[in-house]
Structure 1
Amino acid sequence: MTLIKTVESNVLAADPDWWRGAVIYQIYPRSFQDSDGDGVGDLRGIARRLPHIASLGADAVWISPFFTSPMKDYGYDVSDYCDVDPMFGTLADFDALVAQAHGLGLRVMIDLVLSHTSNQHPWFMESRKSRVNPKADWYVWADPKGDGTPPNNWLSIFGGPAWKWDGRREQYYLHNFLTSQPDLNFHEPAVQDALLDVARFWLERGVDGFRLDTINFYFADKYLRDNPRLPRELRNDSIAPGVNPYNHQLHMFDKNQPENLEFLKKFRAVLDPYGAAAVGEVGDAQFGLEIMAEYTSGGDKVQMCYPFEMLQPKLLTAQGLADVFARLHAAAPGAWPCWSYSNHDTVRHVTRWHLSHEAAKTYATLLQCLRGSVCLYQGEELGLPEAELAFEDLHDPYGIEFWPEFKGRDGCRTPMVWESDNRSGGFSTGEPWLPVTGSHLGLSVEAQEDDPDSMLNHYRAVIALRRAHPVLRHGSTEAMKAAGPLVQFLRAGEETVFCAFNLGDGTVEAMLPGGCWAPLGQEIGAATPQADNRVSLGPWQVCLAKRI
């Protein structure tokens, strides 16, 4: 049942709004496909498997970092923004990947980590030499307090203070993440110019856009003021429940600074001549939707943002979804989200939300019916659960730091499973960098390909439904309401589509608005409305209908 999109040439149609409502497939390159047997995925491996992504009906791929890196944070610590780490291949391999993706009708987005670099980046190596060299102000340096302690109370997401002492400069440098990931100083114009040049480098190589890591961390408060404490009742422990003191502060000054808006305008000005798009990751559990609204408003900053509201440990309920859309509408009706249930940093949602096979299908359908763009994480289309790993298997520094209360991010980063009768799931001819668990092998692409009831073919069907009805991609959302496990809403635009979802194990009744409706989605088991516009929804059933 592999349905591969094709286009007439290797040049995709020029469409500045291609991103609006797009389905973007995230690839974690270490774990997608190994082409040379070293146990680590690479660019040639990605190119080999692009037809699978095209068969889903996706519009674009987002490739997590493959740049030169010491791999302390597995690619999110960049030491050269304009080259490929040898473990992933070469620039020529990347160029070939882009050409093949375009030939399959897939756009290519790459992950830019601009808020910080590796401490092995030449910029930082020069900056730390002295206080008076050409790059002395390229990173956030600060003098200690009189007693030698850090300049303020800011904390690192990876645990402990966000400041590291450097004996050469006799100053502290800021690191919001690992100590080996110093934060760039965006108050320095030369830093902004250098990073915009990085974007131009990849746009000239044919990329169609960027996923911007930690987009709200670019600027720190220039006065380095202390963050206020956050009352316990307001804390959100979504990253590492109960173990990370980072969540004890209201992060008023170490991120989310107003100066960021002007930089995003500069970044957008670089994108527009290329018809490229950007989706920013908003790392803020308290104000993510409001920041997203600010960053995507006005048509002169980034096109989309990637909030965390659907990446939480708590199950996304009918009322929870209605609350998210109410907040989003109140913040800015025109803001454009990019929704996701899973990614390389979170426990896979099938495990996180304890979903049955049918429940996972219903949530997949829901995602494709929401206003906004969509990110799918590799293996999500297979219904992969989180992999259970032993401590000795871990690579993730975050998981190692907070084990065993938090087991880290490696459980969602294990290799993609292509085949069932293969110890590595067809990922590699060598020993995979992370083990492939037995529970995943039975869910391989090979095992699901010809099963009409499989999760894989369900994802293909609901993405095809989204493509067949453009109102699901970019129409407005109206009349969203929740009652118990039932959530329903209208998508309005070129046509009007009614959407209702039973997010529970019982039977519920829904009522369509007045008028005549034609049922949609029979191929995915959607319920058919009765003549009086009532519809009965069984456990985890949906109703989709088009006004006629």
Structure 2
Amino acid sequence: MVNAPAEQKKLPSWWSGGSVVYQIYPASFKDDDGDGYGDLRGIINKLGHIKSLGVDAIWICPHYKSPRVDEGYDISDTDIHEPFGTREDCQELIDAVHAHGMKIMFDLVVNHCSDQHAWFKESRSSKTNPKRDWFYWKPPRMIDGVRHPPNNWRSCFGGSVWEWDEHTQEYYLHYFCSEQPDLNWENPETRQAIYNDAIRYWLDRGVDGFRIDTVNMYSKYLDFPDAKVVAPETPWQPAGDFFSNGPRLQEFLREMRKEAFSKYDCFTIGELPNTPSLEKILSYISTDAEALDCTILFDLADLDHRGGQYPLMGRNWALSQFKALTAFAQQLAEPEHKAHALTYLENHDQARSVTRYASDAPEHRLTSSKLLATYLLTLSGSVIIYEGQEIGMINAPKDWDIDTEYLDVNTINTWREIKHDAKVQNDPSLLERGRAGIQLTARDHARTPMQWDGSKNAGFSSNPDAKPWYRVMESYAEGLNVGAQEDDPNSTLNFYRQLVSLRKAHKDLFILGRFQLLDPGNDQTMLFTKTALDGSQVAFVALNFSAEKQPFELPIELTARQSQLLISTLGKSSESRELDAYEARVYLA
């Protein structure tokens, strides 16, 4: 099935009324061929489960050829990664998703590629190669006769952003792993190759949109100034302000939309790290900007970590901060901004939300997962549900050994740095704080195999004796699996189904309604209203983020009308104005 490009730019956007998107991490979703590694046919075979959630679209993480240094975000070719399947399998998946009445989105990773990509191999072959300036190359900075990188920026995964190439005697730029050289978007020939090979190719085959990786990193600050020294014990300094929102970014995004997206009914979700300004965000995603459709923001996801030399080091946070960041992002749904809001709690880059924002204690797991589902699915705009979130999956247990069980490159590099610095500084507390941060926020927690049933290895593989590529979490044997929850009316899984259905039944409130935060300074409960744009209905959402009972009052908007309890995470009606531990309620008037 191939999309027929339209003659005009304006198309009937399938996503504009607010969509629920289900994200899949292919390696960990379902292994169909029995090799212990998830694959495309595994996804095809589980489309019935995804459809049963009531979602509108699926987003699949990179499944292209890759050395998998950064688990697929280092792409070496647009063909399909062999353990995942073939191009024919991929086309069958696209068609099968459409046959189920859903849309399909792919990951677009074009800030960088793999150092094994043909483009980079040519670029590094000589200084005179035609593709030399498809990437960023710089001579060394000589200080007292000693070679140094061009600046002091720390890469997102540790160490310098510059890697020395012995063959051509220059450094190349990489914001992430040294095996992920950054593409030079300043070169128009590079941009056209990206549009043709990575975007139009898939849109012509029926793909309905893209989640766009690190989209605000395309335009660089070409003077590459040194970052402020905030970690004097290391030569490499955090440089987030320089990584993002460069001087030509809007130009590049508008060109990409015009030349690659505009002829298709295509949904574009762009990652915008280091972008705390509403005005700046709107400059990329408002309809007037003619660039992106909406954004993945990082402020809420980074609330419990980052902000220092070690990106996985935990930090304290208060619910009042969580609420303020939610209110900030919900502004994007207000009609006057002519934009589209998107909310998520989990993805392949974030640890499990039950552990991070509520409680994964056995007595609180069920209520915590429902609390967070209520929060997510009553917010305006579109939302993303990540695989396993619908059954309340939690982080890996703390007895997992970081050195042997954690596989993510960011975890490995950060842990190595922390262990080295703790030894040099003779500071055992640094080691323990680092361990606690990794146990809370490492990406590994979201990448363990999906928990399908109570059989061996959670039913992840068609071959029960195959060793999964990632260790399966033991929580699958404690009811955190699809099979155990399928027919349980009180399960997290069926609560997600119920909420998605209610969200669509009350679209004017929960998808399009105005958000208003109440009692912003309260650090135990989150209370907000959702009001239909025509004022005809009001919903009140009460969320208890604590393990103790908390009082609340109905707002005047509901007391002045005849209100009813629409849903409670306890599954029962109550006249009490007191929320139980991690309880959520929604009232309608």
Q: Would you say same fold, with TM above 0.5?
A: yes
Q: Aligned partners of 1:455 and 1:349: how far apart in 2?
A: 14
Equivalent residue number for residue 271 of structure 1: 261
Q: Counterpart in 1 of 2:586?
A: 544
CA contact (8 A) 1:507 1:538 kept: yes
Which moves more between the two structures, 455-464 or 363-372?
A: 363-372
CA distance, structure 2, for counterparts of residue 424 and residue 535 of structure 1: 40
Cα offset, 1:488, TM superposition: 1.4
Give 1:278's aligned amino acid. T
The answer to whether structure 1 residue 176 and structure 2 residue 171 are counterparts is: no
Check if 1:41 corresponds to 2:38. Answer: yes
Query: Which stretch of the first structure deviates more once superposed, 465-474 or 516-525?
Result: 516-525
1:87 partner SS: helix
Secondary structure of residue in 1 paired with 2:380:
coil
1:450 CA displacement: 0.6
Cα distance in 1 for partners of 2:393, 2:53 equals 16
By how many angstroms is 1:544 displaced?
Answer: 3.0
Query: Alignment RMSD, CA only?
Result: 2.9
CA contact (8 A) 1:420 1:446 kept: yes
Q: Find the counterpart in structure 2 of residue 516 from structure 1.
A: 561
Instruction: State the distance in 1 between where 2:158 and 2:296 align.
Output: 24
| Contact 2:453 2:476 (C-alpha < 8 Å) held by counterparts | no
Name the SS for the 2:281 alignment partner.
Answer: helix
Query: Displacement of 1:315 after TM fit?
Result: 6.1
Of 450, 467, 478, 2:504 maps to 467
Aligned partner of 1:487 among 527, 530, 533: 527
Q: Deviations over 1:277-303 (max 9, x none)?
A: 11112233x637665333212251110
**1:3 corresponding residue in structure 2:** none
- Once the two structures are superposed, residues 161-184 of structure 1 have per-residue CA deviations (whole angstroms, 9 ceiling, x without a partner) of 100011222110001111100001
Could you tell me which of 341, 361, 369 is aligned with 2:378? Answer: 369
Instruction: Give 1:328 deviation, angstroms.
Output: 6.2
In the alignment, the residues of structure 1 paired with residue 281 and residue 458 of structure 2 have an alpha-carbon distance, to the nearest angstrom, of 39
Please say which of residues 499-508 and 94-103 is displaced more in the overlay.
Answer: 499-508
1:384-409 deviation digits (Å, cap 9, x = unpaired) = 11123433233222222233633542
- Residues 519 and 529 in structure 1, CA contact (< 8 A), matched pair in contact too: no
Structure 1 residue 316: deviation in Å? 7.0
Report what 2:296 is aligned to.
306
**Do residues 107 (structure 1) and 103 (structure 2) align?**
yes
Counterpart code for 2:491: S
Kindly indicate whether residue 79 of structure 2 is the aligned counterpart of residue 77 of structure 1: no
Is it true that 1:425 corresponds to 2:459 in the alignment? yes
- Bigger mean CA offset, 507-516 vs 85-94: 507-516
Matched to 1:317, the amino acid is L
User: 1:328 and 1:141, CA in 2 relative to 1: closer, same or farther beyond 3 A?
Assistant: farther
- 1:225 corresponds in structure 2 to 225
The one-letter amino acid of 1:131's match is: K
Q: Tell me how far apart the structure 2 counterparts of residues 422 and 512 of structure 1 sit (CA, whole Å).
A: 50
Deviations 1:491-521 (A, max 9, x none): 3236433222132332322233344244252
Displacement of 1:528: 7.0
What's the counterpart of residue 399 of structure 1? 411
Query: Out of 364, 368, 377, which is 1:359 matched to?
Result: 368
Distance change in 2, residues 1:493/1:517 (3 Å): farther
Residue among 128, 133, 138 paired with 1:132: 128
Q: Which amino acid aligns with 2:486?
A: E
Which stretches of structure 1, 4 residues or more, deviate above 6 A after TM superposition?
Answer: 9-12, 243-246, 526-530
SS in 1 for 2:122: helix
Instruction: After superposing the two structures, state which structure 1 stretch, 312-321 or 188-197, moved more.
Output: 312-321
Q: Is 1:25–1:378's contact at 8 Å kept on the other side of the alignment? A: yes
Is structure 2 residue 543 aligned with structure 1 residue 502?
yes
Letter in 2 for 1:48: N
**Is the alpha carbon distance of 1:359 and 1:204 closer, same or farther for their aligned partners in structure 2, counting shifts above 3 Å?**
same
Determine the structure 2 residue equivalent to 1:413.
447
- In the TM superposition, residue 348 of structure 1 has moved relative to its aligned partner by 0.7
- Tell me if the contact between 2:377 and 2:503 (Cα under 8 Å) persists in the aligned partners: yes
TM-score by length of 2: 0.82
Partner Cα separation in structure 2 for residue 100 and residue 471 of structure 1? 30
Deviation of the 1:415 alpha carbon: 0.6
Which residue does the alignment assign to 2:89? 93
Q: SS in structure 2 opposite 1:278?
A: strand
- Asked if 1:440 is matched to 2:476, the reply is yes
Q: Aligned AA for 2:499?
A: V
How far does residue 359 in structure 1 lie from its aligned partner after superposition?
2.6
SS in 2 for 1:146: strand
**SS, match of residue 45 in structure 1:** helix
User: Could you tell me whether the CA contact under 8 Å between 2:549 and 2:578 is conserved in 1?
Assistant: no
Q: Structure 1, residues 461-495: CA drift from partner, whole Å, max 9, x if none?
A: 11111111112454242432225224212232364
| Cα 1:41/1:116, change in 2 over 3 Å | same
Change (3 A) 1:205 1:288: farther
Report SS of the residue matched to 2:134: coil
Q: Which amino acid aligns with 2:550?
A: T
C-alpha distance in structure 2 between counterparts of 1:126 and 1:220, whole Å: 22
SS at match of 2:519: strand
Q: How far apart are residue 335 of structure 1 and its match?
A: 4.0
Distance change (3 Å), C-alpha of 1:526 and 1:372: farther
Match of 2:281 in 1: 292
> Which moves more between the two structures, 265-274 or 122-131?
265-274
SS at match of 2:59: strand
> Quick check: 2:22–2:385 contact (8 Å CA) kept in 1?
yes
Does 1:152 find its partner at 2:186? no
Report the counterpart of residue 317 of structure 1 in structure 2. Answer: 319
In 2, Cα distance between equivalents of 1:418 and 1:323 = 34
Asked if 2 retains the 8 angstrom alpha-carbon contact of 1:519 and 1:528, the reply is no
Comparing 214-223 with 405-414, greater Cα deviation is found at: 405-414
Per the alignment, residue 196 of structure 1 pairs with 195
- Scaled by the length of structure 1, the TM-score of the pair is 0.88
d(CA) in 1 for partners of 2:152, 2:219: 17
Residues 524 and 502 (structure 1), Cα distance of their counterparts in 2 relative to 1, 3 Å cut:
closer
Pair 1:417–1:245, CA change in 2 (3 A): farther
- Contact 1:490–1:497 (Cα < 8 Å) also in 2: yes
1:243-267 CA deviation, whole Å, 9 max, x = no partner? 9997x53533232213111111122
Farther-moved stretch of structure 1 (510-519 vs 359-368) = 510-519
Tell me how far apart the structure 2 counterparts of residues 469 and 460 of structure 1 sit (CA, whole Å). Answer: 14
Asked whether the equivalents of residues 477 and 490 of structure 1 are also in contact (C-alpha less than 8 Å), the reply is yes
Separation in structure 2 between the aligned mates of residue 536 and residue 465 of structure 1, nearest angstrom: 24
Report the 3-state secondary structure (helix = DSSP H, G, I; strand = E; otherwise coil) of the residue aligned with 1:433.
coil
Q: Which amino acid in the other structure matches residue 375 of structure 2? A: L
Q: Is the 8 A contact 2:66 2:75 kept in 1?
A: yes
Find the aligned partners of 2:289 and 2:537 in 1 and give their Cα distance: 26
Q: How many residues align?
A: 522
Residue 27 of structure 1 contacts residue 378 of structure 1 at CA under 8 Å; is this kept in 2? yes
Q: Which whole-Å CA distance do the structure 1 matches of 2:355 and 2:90 have between them?
A: 33
Residues 44-59 of structure 1 mapped to structure 2, 5 A cutoff:
44-59=41-56
Q: CA deviation at 1:317?
A: 2.2
Q: Is the 8 A contact 1:486 1:508 kept in 2?
A: no
Percent identical across equivalent pairs?
36
Q: 1:377 to 1:289 in 2, by over 3 A?
A: farther
Match of 1:347 among 340, 343, 351: 351
Contact residue 367 and residue 570 of structure 2 kept, 8 A: no
Q: Please say if residues 371 and 569 of structure 2, whose CA atoms lie closer than 8 Å, have aligned partners that are also in contact.
A: no
Aligned: 1:21 with 2:18: yes
Q: 1:190, 1:296 → 2: CA distance?
A: 25
